[in-house]
Amino acid sequence: MSTSPVDFAIASSTGLVAFALVLSGAMKLGRSASTLAAMAALRVPAVLRRRPLAAALPVWELLLAAGFLFASGVVRAVTAWLAVGTLFVFTLFLAGVLSRHEEVDCGCFGPLSASDRVTGWSILRNSILTALALTVAVGAAGHGSLFSTLAVADLAFVLGVALSWAAVAILLLLLALWKARGGQRSRHQKPGIGGSENEVVPGSIDMMTGGASIGDPIPDVEVVSDTGIPVGLRRLGRGAPVLLLFLSAECSSCVKTAARVPQWQEQLAPARIRVLTSSRPDVVRHRFPDAAPYARYASKAAMRALGVQGGPAAVVLGGLQQPVVASPVAYGLEEIEALVRGVLEAGK
């Protein structure tokens, strides 16, 4: 069968987009809580941040991938147009993060991108995938499925398509290794940081910076429960004052702090403790078993709103009668213990 450069472009683009969709969908399956956390961090509208939608998203991506691989003609073209729309919407949310100068984990490929900050590369990657999907959308209507095309094509065509896929795979692997090494260097070079980019040296920060101050209304931001339900900061205490404890699985000194949570909760009752984190639920359960029952996820927006610069850190929010920020941010185990003692004394 004679083939043209257009056939080659469609076949190569089909395989690359299908691979990205399979990887993205497979990595999100069964992780709706993590997906909801990523949606909250990307500021997806609250009406869309629902567990059924988070559970359906990876299925949608896998269905699109199946359409790319197995459908032919108009069905394949329609699938590609749907993928173009999906990728375009994703790219808009990523662009919003960059425009707000926020540090947000992408979550685009589930746990594979748990520490993948949204950068210009994220926009470029999605733009390339969108262009590839658009190539299929425009040209696939008169073509058979990918597998039927490869089955009747000559060996040179098949090898060329396979080499194009391999070249992209190698490029992505090299890029991932480069980013990983760059991330390690940046963590070692940051001043005032101990152990990870999320860990703040106690005593290095004297006040909240760029966030709410004592007496300000509780910020109107949300976190995500372990069941994937968005919860506003104002509702975390269910009417009672709440001690927000910010922890990260990457923070070495957070382990001792997390172990104290059950004891603090017993002392502070009826006030509540809520652990806020951007780490994945499964990682939190493994790293902080004592604190996991108190954990809420997608904490980046809350950290920005309250001026929290790292962990371990804590801040007190007032209850229903005084829904305000009730304390400065305390950093490190000693300062947090002092904050707990202050809350206990105030309640006497």
99-119 pLDDT tens trace: 987 777 777 887 666 556 788
State the amino acid at position 324 in one-letter form.
V
Token reading at 314: 């804590």
**222-346: CATH homologous superfamily?**
Glutaredoxin (3.40.30.10)
More confident residue, 195 or 3: 3
Of 348, 333, 120, 318, whose CA–CA distance to 235 is shortest? 318
190-240 pLDDT tens trace: 333 333 435 554 444 444 456 778 899 999 888 888 777 788 898 998 889
CATH 3.40.30.10 in the chain is located at: 222-346
* CA–CA distance, 58 with 28 (Å, rounded to integer): 6
Cβ atoms within 10 Å, residue 100: 10
List Cα–Cα distances, 137 to 10, 62, 127, 188, in angstroms.
9, 17, 15, 45
Percent of the chain topping pLDDT 70: 88
* CA–CA distance, 127 with 79 (Å, rounded to integer): 17
The whole-number pLDDT of residue 207 equals 43
Of 38, 11, 17, whose CA–CA distance to 83 is shortest? 17
Please determine, for residue 347, whether its predicted confidence score (pLDDT) is greater than 80.
no
Torsion of CA 104, 105, 109, 114, to 10 degrees: -170
53-73 pLDDT tens trace: 988 999 999 999 999 999 999
Mean pLDDT across 170-183: 70
Taking the whole predicted model, whether its pTM rises above 0.75 is answered as no
Mean pLDDT across 240-251: 91
Cβ atoms within 10 Å, residue 295: 24
The whole-number pLDDT of residue 201 equals 47
The whole-number pLDDT of residue 168 equals 85
43-54 pLDDT tens trace: 888 788 888 898
The whole-number pLDDT of residue 2 equals 58
